[in-house]
Amino acid sequence: MQRSIYLRPVGIFPAPADPDEATFAGLPLAGQPLRFTTVEIAERGGSRISRRIVTLGDAVERDWGRGTIDAARDLEALSAPRPRLAGLALDRPRIMGIVNVTPDSFSDGGQHDEAQNAIAHGLRLAEEGAEILDIGGESTRPGADYVPVEEELRRVLPVIEGLRARTDALISVDTRKAEVMRRAAAAGADILNDVSALTHDPDAMTAAAESGLPIILMHAQGDPRTMNDNPQYSDVVLDVFDYLEGRILACEAAGIPRAKLITDPGIGFGKHLHHNVAVMAALSQYHALGVPMLLGASRKKLIDHISDVPNPRDRVPGSLAAALVGAAQGVQIIRVHDVAATRQALNVWRASAAGSEKVLS
């Protein structure tokens, strides 16, 4: 599906300490302590796309023709608070810690591919401040090979069971396969995280709906083996939006309520550097989808492309910068390898943006 009009909040700023004293404090961004008073209007006309910035008043009062309904829905979605995620409030950035139980992940492959090592790593991330632990048994790095279902189950189920017994952190399973979703849910997983947005496995939509769990829908162009060969977009920011909106509607048609959905624009998945930085600059666009957003840019190749850092483990500073770019645009979930460093950076950002350390209590 493709729209004719899109609204993106710009000029985002921290909410005033006492909004009653302000003449106009703007609209809240997705129910968070961030506000916006202007929006960028993007309009599609065939292959032509135009963008301009207008005030909220102009956005509300103008007749946008056939895009008027979409514009009105976007404004409402941009400001509405998001429902809790498996009981976790999304009124501030939450940290998801990565636990890869794989021999070939791009950054930490082989470090935690034994269950006990992975469990210990997950517990350490929870102690450092991760409120969600994302357990993955199949690498989805560019060029990665397919992992059979039984092997993926052998990798992830003991880790999910071990963590479920020892931590209150939410547990997410990073998988594209329906059977892994079902078995992980039975083992105690709280969230499903599918890089294919429930398109890889024909049975995944049914499995996700039956589980009743929240689901993270990520944008990717193509399969991990080939996705970065030659990705093409007419406008990457809007094309990603259209794809995610289509997947949300498909989930709703399958009986999965919007309140159970989270989106991820998929940094690095079927995107070259210029695509990735364009999406990073426009993350606030995806709040118009009306669901929480996850950002996963930790240690990714775009940091190497920008700063010449070939070793993923040396990309922590770039990862922190990406996390803060996301937080400043209202991203609710930051998926990272380096939890303690990310928590420290977010705490300093939150206190400084609010002008008070009380926001951390």
* Catalytic residue set: 300, 335
**Close Cβ partners of 334 (under 8 Å, ≥ 6 residues apart):** 93, 94, 95, 96, 294, 295, 323, 326, 327, 342, 346
Contact 198, 251 (CB under 8 A): yes
Q: What angle do CA 295, 299, 301 make, to 5 degrees?
A: 95
At a CB cut-off of 8 Å and minimum separation 6, what does 222 contact?
A: 229, 231, 270
Tokens, residue 263: 């989106």
- Whether 97 contacts 130, CB under 8 Å: yes
Please give the structure tokens belonging to residue 271.
């995107």
β-pair partners for 50: 43
Residues 92-114 as b/e (b if ≥16 CB within 10 A, e otherwise) read ebbbbbbbbbbeebbbbbebbbe
